[in-house]
Each structure stands twice: as C-alpha cells, then as structure tokens.
Amino acid sequence: MKREALSQGDSHGWGADGHAVISVSAGRRVPAGGENDGRDRMLTAGWAAWGLPLAQAGGSFWLPDPASTTAHYTDYLFYAIFYISTFFFGLIVVLMTAFLILYRRRDSRIKGEKTASHNTALELFWTFVPLCIVIYIFATGFVGYMEMRTSPPDAYEIRVTGQKWKWFFTYPTGYVDESLHVPVDRPVRLVMTSRDVIHSLFIPAFRLKMDLVPGRYTSTWFHAVRPGEYPLLCAEYCGDNHSAMLSTVVVHEPGRFEKWLEEASNFMKNLSPVEAGRILYQRQGCAQCHSLDGTRKVGPSFKNVYGETVQFADGTSGIADENYLRESILVPDAKIVAGYPPQMPPYQGLLDEDKIAALIAFIKSLSDEHAEEAASPAKPDVAASPPLSP
Ligand code: CUA
C-alpha cells in the first residue's frame, strides 16, 4: 500500500507535506448521529489504526527509502530473512497439503503401515542446511553490526538528551534545538543520555535505533546521503506521552547546515527579547502545554498571567512576577498552580539566564496590562503586535 492510498482517510498518517503526522481522530469523540456517522467513525478508527504504524514505517508495508550509508545492511538482512521465511513457509504448507492428500486414509478397514523411525541421510540434511542458513544470517548481521557500532573518527558530534517527552539536540556551539539538524554527506556521531527514564532514539529512514539511559552515555552514528526531512521517534515505552515523543531529522543540502547553525545559534543576539522568547516558546516545547490565548491545556495559559495573583495547590498564593516565572521554568514543582497536574519537566541546565529573560519578556508581552513594559527600547513596536495563537 502506498502513500496515496493512505491519504484517502481523514485521519491518514501523512501531512500534506509528506511528513508523518500522528492522528488524533481515533481518540477524539465523534458525536453520535445517523448510520453514516457510525460508519464514518468506524472508517476513521480503521484508518487511524492502520495509519499510525504505517506512518512510522514510512507510509508503506515495506521499509522506508534508505537515507544513510549503513541502511543497506539492515535492509539486506531483513529481506534475506523475510524471503527465506517465505520460502520455507510456502514449502511447508505445500508439502503438508500434498501429504494430507497423498497419504489420506482411503479405506476404513485398512490399518496404517508402520512408518520409518530413522533416516540418517535425511536427518543430516535437515540439520546441515538450517545450520548453514543461521551461520550466514549471523555472519552477515555481524558485519553490519560492527560497521554501525564503529563511528568514523572525523564524525561531527551532537549531544542528545531525552526527557519525558521531548528531545533536545545540543550542537557544538552550545545551541539547543528540538529537531536534529545535520549536514548531508558527513558522518554524525550522537552522544546520548536521558534525564529520567530509558528512551530510545529511532530514525527509520537511517535504520538507526539506540537507547538513551539515565546516568550514562550511549552513542551511535550515521551518515546521511539524501537531503530532506525524516521522522524521528522514541521506540521505548517511557510513560503516557511516549507516542508523542516525536521529532524530525533535517538533513541540509551541502553548505546549508553551517549557515543554519550560525543563524540558529545567534537568534538571541539578533532579535528583541520578546521575539526571541516567542521562538523559544515554540522550540523549547512550551507550546505543547501552554496556550497564548487563554485556552486551558496541560498547563495554565500564558495569556494575562504576568503580574496576576496565582493560587497554588497547597492553598497559598503569590504574584506571578519575574522571580515566580523564573522558578516555575527552572523548578516547576516548587509551586504548583491549583487545578493543574505537576507534569512539567524542569528546565534547569537547559536554558541560560538570557533565554529565561527572553521567555519572561514574551510572557509579559501577552499581558494586557504589562505589554508596554515588555517592549524592548530598540523595537518598541514588537509588543504591540497581537500575540500569535498557538
Ligand atoms: Cu521516550 Cu518513549
């Protein structure tokens, strides 16, 4: 089944731009209506059930197009085992059917003959042939495994941090992004760790999968051969939002990666704090849980929060000033807003003071009363622009 066939359902696993999209329709309640509604609902659930694993596999029952230098090792062995299994499945079913017909009981009065109990030649044959097959599978797998485990010495190094339920990629400039950006035609080494539980970095297009373990570093490497964007996901069940722990690998055209990294690393210098805060709000994952228009999500909305009195779960209250916002970003569990679950991950060590200041300026700009103060003197028109809806 190809991508086009999948897109017919309204909850298909691919976005208009061809990237994997996780469908939410299956979990959403569809209002009960006539017969058509019921059928539509079943269709929707069906497409979602098929669309999800297919989207992750690249929109097809077959492996996605290989995009790394080591992908062919996996593909070769996978298809070798697949076709060997198919051959033996067919052989066994055909022989079984033939024997059923050939040796069926034709006359109920005839007693069955005694069957042969031993045949040395046959037993040697059916021991030796499978032995050769498994040795071949092991040898081929070992060659690929060694290649995939040994990163070239000149590899470009990117640090990866997994945290419920986000990915952080730290580049050599110290810049942190939620997507993995890499140059094409250059080996990249990932040095990875987790801040909480075991996660597993999985990039199907590169045939790459490696666990991230808290308290230690693991590493893996790849060499991307085709520019483009590829899905990256977590392949180790790590809690209730495991399935939403998604990101993207962006493989840049030759020469473009360095340019992207320089621009991305310097966005704090080139933008006003409010604008930089708006970018951080998107990139650091705040947008997943905090709305900008007052809508209730997992966490409180950022709209009109600055300067207001906040009620905490322990019965106390406080003013949402700079210090409160800073603490809530770095150590979210210190003060839990009443009525919200203590679900936010701590950002201690992930955001420097400049970025925290930018985020606070951005939150300030969303307050009707304090928007003026948030405006940077260099760009007074920034805060006046209406806040983006999430
Ligand atoms: Cu992280 Cu599953």
Residue 346 C-alpha to ligand 1 middle, in angstroms? Answer: 17
Q: Please identify, by atom number, the ligand 1 atom nearest to the C-alpha of residue 242.
A: 2
Q: Please identify, by atom number, the ligand 1 atom nearest to the C-alpha of residue 198.
A: 1
Average pLDDT over residues 192-219: 94
Residue 279 C-alpha to ligand 1 middle, in angstroms? Answer: 25
| Closest protein CA for atom 1 of ligand 1 | 199
Asked whether residue 213 carries a pLDDT value surpassing 90, the answer given is yes
Asked whether residue 28 carries a pLDDT value surpassing 90, the answer given is no
Asked whether residue 30 carries a pLDDT value surpassing 70, the answer given is no
Residue 290 C-alpha to ligand 1 middle, in angstroms? Answer: 21
- pLDDT band of residue 52 (cuts 50, 70, 90) is low
Average pLDDT over residues 213-229: 94
Average pLDDT over residues 268-289: 83
Name which residue leads in pLDDT, 131 or 367. Answer: 131
Asked whether residue 354 carries a pLDDT value surpassing 80, the answer given is yes
Answer yes or no: is the C-beta of 199 below 6 A from any ligand 1 atom. yes
Asked whether residue 149 carries a pLDDT value surpassing 50, the answer given is yes
- pLDDT band of residue 53 (cuts 50, 70, 90) is low
In tens, the pLDDT along 368-379 reads 887 777 764 444
Q: Please identify, by atom number, the ligand 1 atom nearest to the C-alpha of residue 199.
A: 1
In tens, the pLDDT along 78-93 reads 999 999 999 999 999 9
Asked whether residue 38 carries a pLDDT value surpassing 50, the answer given is no
Residue 65 C-alpha to ligand 1 middle, in angstroms? Answer: 24
Residue 231 C-alpha to ligand 1 middle, in angstroms? Answer: 14
Least confident window among 70-74, 267-271, 279-283:
267-271
Answer yes or no: is the C-beta of 245 below 6 A from any ligand 1 atom. yes
SS (HEC) of the chain: CCHHHHCCCCCCCECCCCCECCCCHHHCCCCCCCHHHHHHHHHHHHHHHHHHHHHHHCCCCCCCCCCECCHHHHHHHHHHHHHHHHHHHHHHHHHHHHHHHHCCCCCCCCCCCCCCCCCHHHHHHHHHHHHHHHHHHHHHHHHHHHHHHCCCCCCEEEEEEEECCEEEEECCCCCEECCEEEECCCEEEEEEEECCCCEEEEEHHHCEEEEECECCCEEEEEEECCCEEEEEEECCCCCCCHHHCEEEEEEECCCHHHHHHHHHHCHHHHCCHHHHHHHHHHHCCHHHCCCCCCCCCCCCCCCCCCCCEEEECCCCEEECCHHHHHHHHHCHHHCCECCCCCCCCCCCCCCCHHHHHHHHHHHHHCCCCCHHHHCECCECCCCCCCCCCC
Asked whether residue 390 carries a pLDDT value surpassing 60, the answer given is no
- Per-residue pLDDT at 56: 52
What does the mean pLDDT of the chain come to?
Answer: 81
Asked whether residue 14 carries a pLDDT value surpassing 70, the answer given is no
Answer yes or no: is the C-beta of 238 below 6 A from any ligand 1 atom. yes
pTM over 0.75: no
